[in-house]
Homo-oligomer: A and B are copies of this chain.
């Protein structure tokens, strides 16, 4: 076990998929990350919400191995809200409405007791804010960041500075292509690696993920889910499972990263089975490991052929 910190959004989501609609449910990148990661390792959560943030959601976090010392409830501010709608095949989504609220103000501060965190995940955010948060830490052992098209296209300089400082980066296939101009995802992952990160993880949604680092590739299919209810948060849960495993074994060599990718894949598979965090919040280490074991069978780990 080693300390694991995440900074990112904590919000209230309204989500429409072909299977239904939910309103003002707990969401946000740091939330999904924390609920997944805490199945494997204690989490230090850093993020800001408004004074309208429901107590029951605060409890949902603090009742687990999630330290909410860094959860700032800002007086006079409102919590971040996002409203999204998925396409019939759920491979695309449009933002119907977004209210940055507290996220549009100053960034959160990392509390003193969190500054020595060993493993750090900077969820998708303005790269300038990611850098400010990074500068508040005293020598983390492993820093991984996420990003999105908005920063790649409009804040590229700042993003490149962050990429020059982190150990690893997690991005989806479209973002990897936009960032590098390479259509082929292997070529894109290699090109991202040249921007600084020692390892690069490309998420391909239902098509799995790949890890590139130290000149090596590791490939994983997605965990097969027959009925996807809501893909929201899958990528952040994936990152939570990935980082949670690395912190839990306090290793970050390639073999550990590969095994961490398996945990990330399995954590994400819970998330997409329900709206919001319902299925992920109902999981525990035992159910995570059962599904991991099933998955390892499916990818041939235990196959004597």
Show the binding face of A for B, using Cβ within 8 Å: 89, 183-187, 204, 207-208, 210, 216-221, 224-228, 255-256, 258-259, 262, 297-301, 303-305
B residues in contact with A305, CB < 8 Å: 255-256, 258-259
> Are A184 and B227 neighbours in the complex by a CB distance under 8 Å?
yes
| Most chain B CB within a 10 A radius of its CB, from A187, A262, A303, A304 | A303
Copies in the complex: 2
A299 B219 Cβ-Cβ under 8 A: yes
Knowing that A186-B225, A208-B221, A217-B224 touch, tell me 12 more A-B residue pairs with CB under 8 angstroms. Answer: A184-B225, A184-B227, A186-B226, A204-B207, A207-B207, A207-B208, A210-B224, A218-B303, A219-B221, A255-B305, A258-B305, A299-B299
- Contact assessment for A298 and B219 in the assembled complex, using a CB-CB cutoff below 8 Å: yes
Pairwise interchain contact B224-A89, C-beta atoms closer than 8 A: no
The residues of B that contact A256 with a CB separation of less than 8 Å are: 305
Q: Which residue of B lies closest to A204 (CB)?
A: B207
Chain B residue contacts of A255, Cβ below 8 A: 303-305
- Once bound together, how far apart are the Cα atoms of A187 and B206, in whole Å? 14
CB nearest neighbor in B for A186: B224
> Roughly how many angstroms separate A62 CA and B132 CA in the complex, as a whole number?
68
Bound-complex Cα distance A219 to B294 (A)? 12
Hey, which chain B residues are within 8 Å of A218, CB to CB?
298-300, 303
Q: Which residue of B lies closest to A227 (CB)?
A: B184
Contact assessment for A226 and B303 in the assembled complex, using a CB-CB cutoff below 8 Å: no
Residue of A183, A224, A259 most packed against chain B (CB within 10 A): A224
Cβ-defined contact, A226 with B301, below 8 A: no
Q: How far is the CA of A297 from the CA of B220 in the complex (A)?
A: 12
